[in-house]
Amino acid sequence: MRWIDQLHLRLARRQRHAAQQAVHFIGLPEGALALAQLVVHLAAAPKSNAVYVAYGEASQDALNTRADPPPLHIRNAPTRLLKDLGYGAGYRYAHDEPEGVAAMDCLPENLAGRRYYHPSERGAEPEVAARLEAARRVRELKPRE
């Protein structure tokens, strides 16, 4: 199964809406041309199944490791006891960080470093890959608490 990348999906939504409006206002058979244009746009759009594969792998890991505890620093600490046990200690809120990236491992210990999404070279995915790599570099350079 192949998926259309997000940039083309946004463009397709606009075209889909325009095609829907054309059919609604001018009817068929004339509106069929707008639908045909939408089909050609979607058929010609760059495709990737990278998100589909990543979701499948992450879902499988979530099922297989559901009993594995998350790291203490991302656990909620609503009570004094949990705070004393280290829950939430060292948590860094990404939105408060200058680059918007917090240097924290958030997966269970046995999944640490696991990457699920491997962008393709098609469509907008190279741009996504560059942003993910930039975030990884920021995390590697920041001290962990």
Is 32 domain-assigned? yes
Q: What is the span of the domain harbouring residue 18?
A: 1-45
Is the same domain home to 40 and 104?
A: no
Is the same domain home to 36 and 103?
A: no
Helix axes 32-44, 6-26, angle to 10 degrees: 170
Is the same domain home to 24 and 63?
A: no
Residues 6+ apart with CB under 8 A from 58: 116
Written as one letter, the residue type at 132 is L
Written as one letter, the residue type at 6 is Q
Is the same domain home to 102 and 63?
A: yes
List the pLDDT tens digit at each of the 145 positions of the chain.
345 555 566 777 788 888 889 889 998 888 899 889 888 887 887 888 898 999 999 999 999 998 999 999 999 999 999 999 999 999 999 999 999 999 888 999 999 889 999 999 988 889 999 999 999 999 888 766 5
Is 15 domain-assigned? yes
Is the same domain home to 56 and 103?
A: yes
Is the same domain home to 36 and 105?
A: no
Is 121 domain-assigned? yes
Q: In this structure, are residues 132 and 119 in contact, taking their beta carbons and an 8 Å threshold?
A: yes
Is the same domain home to 5 and 57?
A: no
Is 77 domain-assigned? no
The count of structural domains within the chain is 2
Question: Taking the model in full, what pTM does it have?
Answer: 0.69
Is the same domain home to 10 and 61?
A: no
Is the same domain home to 65 and 122?
A: yes
Is the same domain home to 63 and 106?
A: yes
